[in-house]
Structure 1
């Protein structure tokens, strides 16, 4: 297994991994799966300020994890929201943990002080992953997202990455 920074050439594989999450689940609240062109745009946008990593097995991309802007107000710039997605055949082999640990390390190296996992309630695998990685439950927003004909709660998980300094140094970009 290899974990490396994303490239624009990964866009098609990322779109293929993400597509079933969009179409078949409430894990993401997106309703239309992004194509490779949109994934390339997202890669360019995200990697300007945050890390985005991919996991390869036998030369094929089987998962990805990235940090992104948590909220748009300037006072939040030291906190990153995280996302992680694995291909169906990559689940249950410890890959999610390895990929997420690498992402958290990359976020800390760039000066982020906290990571926020924001997920739909009722996802036991993601809950267990966040708990194993030292995240704590930071709140629940009941009935905040509507997808597949029903309302869903959103759960916030937080992991501190570094001590708070005053004034804090600016996080470094891509």
Structure 2
């Protein structure tokens, strides 16, 4: 893992990131309840997700790397909130930071880049679902102007227990 002094670069994600992004996400699938996916992905299985986040448009993928070394430190996305046409001006956002890269401001850098990229889009709201408890994610979202709008109680079951998901909203 890079040192704290390594320069972090944030850029749009692409095909060359697929394996690293899949590995990062699979950590959260296997080890945490922050995602309700329960089976790890292969890079090929994750390719449709990657391709649904082009470098322009409202559905973006921003990747943080450790400068010249190229290791992925995290990523942030904006994705369709719901599939029905009237939801087209709303996005769901998320951020994942690599194990060992937390508390370095990676999430802040990713969300800053993501929301700057979305400024020119015809968007009205961003939403984020946070499985509870997750104080770090709650703090990050509140720092970016998200406000709590409700909680779905015991909406997911993973690792033999029920999990709540708190929903946050941000005006764009």
TM-score, reference length from structure 2: 0.89
Q: Separation in 2 of the partners of 1:60 and 1:150?
A: 34
Structure 1: gaps of 5 or more residues: 162-174
Cα RMSD (Å): 1.3
Do the aligned residues in 2 keep the contact of 1:104 with 1:115 (CA within 8 Å)? Answer: no
Q: Separation in 2 of the partners of 1:105 and 1:153?
A: 30
Hey, what does 2:133 align to over in structure 1?
Answer: 122
The match for 1:103 among 104, 111, 114 is 114
Deviations 1:113-172 (A, max 9, x none): 1111111121111011111111100111111111110111111111101xxxxxxxxxxx
Hey, what does 2:66 align to over in structure 1?
Answer: 57
Q: Tell me whether 1:157 sits opposite 2:168 in the alignment.
A: yes
Deviation, 1:40, is: 2.1
The residue matched to 1:88 in structure 2 has which SS? Answer: coil
Deviation, 1:108, is: 2.5
TM-score, reference length from structure 1: 0.88
Do the aligned residues in 1 keep the contact of 2:58 with 2:121 (CA within 8 Å)? Answer: no
Structure 2: gaps of 5 or more residues: 1-7
Hey, what does 1:46 align to over in structure 2?
Answer: 53
Do the aligned residues in 1 keep the contact of 2:127 with 2:167 (CA within 8 Å)? Answer: yes
Do the aligned residues in 2 keep the contact of 1:64 with 1:86 (CA within 8 Å)? Answer: yes
Hey, what does 1:18 align to over in structure 2?
Answer: 25
The match for 2:43 among 29, 36, 42 is 36
Do the aligned residues in 1 keep the contact of 2:79 with 2:93 (CA within 8 Å)? Answer: yes
Do the aligned residues in 1 keep the contact of 2:60 with 2:78 (CA within 8 Å)? Answer: yes
